[in-house]
Structure formats: C-alpha cells, structure tokens
Amino acid sequence: MPRASLLYCEPLQAGGDAFGCVRVAAKPMNPSLHPDAELAYGAGQLNPVKAVDPGLVFDATENDYVQMLCDEGYNKSMIRIITGDERCCSSLGPRTARDLNYPSMALHVASDDSFAGNFSRSVTNVGDACSRYRVKIKADGRLKVVVNPKTLVFTKLDEKQGFVVSVSGGPMAANSTASASIIWLDGKHSVRSAMVVYTDFTT
C-alpha cells in the first residue's frame, strides 16, 4: 500500500513526514463536479509516485499534536491515555487547532458576515539543496488569498522556511464552502496546500 512504500523513500529518512508527502503531492478533484470536495478528500487524489519526491514537507512535532488535542478540549487524563505521560496543556501555551503545521487549512466563519483569518506555516526542504519556490494561488472568487513571502529560497537540505497565508472575504450563505489552493513551484516540484472556508451546516 502507498503509505508503507513511502516509509522507505530516501528524503523521508532525513526526517520528512510520510503523510505530509502524500498530501502535498495529491491531485485535486474538480470543484465543478465536487463542490464540497475539500471537506471529503483532504488534499486530493493520492499520487504515490510524486509523493516519494515531494520537494517540501510540513513537519509537526509530538508536542504540536498534543497541543492540538488540548485545543480540542482534551483534558490531562485523556491526553495521558494517548501519550503515556503526564503532560499538561497549561505547559504548552495557548494556541488554536489551526496553528498546527499541517498542509491543509480550514477556517470556520459565521454566515452572512465578513471574515478574515491567518495561517502560519513552515516547510522543510527535502528536495534539491539549492532551490527557489514561487507561490501560485488558485482561489474561489469569493476569497481573497495573500501569501507572504511569495518566494521561498533554500540553500541546503532540511532547511526550514516560514510563510503566512491570509484569507478574507464577504458574507457567505449558510451551508456553503469556498476553497483555495496554495501551490509552491520550483520548476520540478509542485507542493500544494488545500484551504477551505466554511459556514455552519444545518439540516
């Protein structure tokens, strides 16, 4: 199965993330055929061939995932069952679940109200030692998406670079979604992050 084979990929032996490789190399679905696809498939249709050479990966530490559990309301007893230690949320500092250094980004907004949000991310270079990536943005017309900086320059393997994605827009109706893709390109690799902005879903 693809996940097992990726564990033997050379770039991953340097500390990359197998699941991150799968996500950033995934092929997006057609939004005209699947308007709610971002909520269903994650980063897209898996491409294990491209995933073995992702170029960039999104690393997250164990503490990052524990912090996400804290943000989701897990208490010390519940976290101990998962981690096997006595870690407590108060020692990790305040954050939100969307701060997790994850390829995908999701923003819940109130319906019929303007919105704005930011996502801070960092990527690790597991491709060519010297490389330059430029960002390309594909977004639903209802969204304004800005990435800063627009270029990431790497001079060695395992080097990390950070960027901030800002998204804003006007009022959206209830039961609706709007999606975007943030794609880093160096002429060889295409590293995609999926974004979805969504309102409450009611029946």
Instruction: Assess contact for 6 and 48: CB atoms under 8 A.
Output: yes
For the cut 90, the answer to whether the pLDDT of residue 38 exceeds it is no
Looking at the fold, whether 185 and 144 belong to one and the same domain comes out as: yes
Encode pLDDT of 139-158 as tens digits.
Answer: 999 999 999 999 999 999 99
Instruction: Assess contact for 40 and 34: CB atoms under 8 A.
Output: yes
In this predicted structure, what is the pLDDT of residue 66? 86
Top pLDDT among 28 and 11 is at 28
Alpha carbon 149 to its chain centroid, in Å, reads: 17
Looking at the fold, whether 44 and 78 belong to one and the same domain comes out as: no
Looking at the fold, whether 83 and 158 belong to one and the same domain comes out as: no
Mean pLDDT, residues 48-71: 83
Q: What DSSP element (H or E) covers 66?
A: helix 62-71
Top pLDDT among 70 and 118 is at 118
In this predicted structure, what is the pLDDT of residue 3? 35
Work out the angle between the directed axes of helices 62-71 and 76-83 (0-180°, nearest 10).
150
Encode pLDDT of 95-113 as tens digits.
Answer: 677 888 988 899 999 998 9
For residue 6, what are the CA distances in angstroms to 20, 50, 94, 127?
11, 10, 34, 15
Looking at the fold, whether 7 and 38 belong to one and the same domain comes out as: yes
Number of Cα atoms under 13 Å in the Cβ half of residue 170? 2
- 15: alpha, beta or left? (left if phi > 0; alpha if psi -120 to 50): left
Angle, vertex CA 91, rays to CA 87 and CA 95, nearest 5: 110
Share above pLDDT 70 across residues of the chain, in percent, rounded to a whole number:
71
Top pLDDT among 22 and 171 is at 171
| Residue 203, in any domain of the structure | no
Of 100, 125, 149, which one is at a domain's C-terminal end? 100
Looking at the fold, whether 56 and 6 belong to one and the same domain comes out as: yes
The overall average pLDDT reported for the chain is: 80
Encode pLDDT of 155-168 as tens digits.
Answer: 999 999 999 999 99
Looking at the fold, whether 122 and 189 belong to one and the same domain comes out as: yes
User: One-letter amino acid identity for 192?
Assistant: R
Looking at the fold, whether 88 and 165 belong to one and the same domain comes out as: no
Looking at the fold, whether 25 and 111 belong to one and the same domain comes out as: yes
- Domain range for 96 is 61-100
Q: Which is it for the CA torsion 22, 24, 25, 29, positive or negative?
A: positive
User: How many domains are contained in the chain?
Assistant: 2
Looking at the fold, whether 136 and 162 belong to one and the same domain comes out as: yes
In this predicted structure, what is the pLDDT of residue 201? 76
The pair of structure tokens assigned to 153 is: 């320059």
Looking at the fold, whether 106 and 12 belong to one and the same domain comes out as: yes
Instruction: Assess contact for 131 and 116: CB atoms under 8 A.
Output: no
Q: Which residues pair with 162 in a beta bridge?
A: 122
Looking at the fold, whether 37 and 106 belong to one and the same domain comes out as: yes
| Residue 12, in any domain of the structure | yes
Reported pTM: 0.77
Q: Strand 190-198 and strand 105-108: pairing?
A: parallel
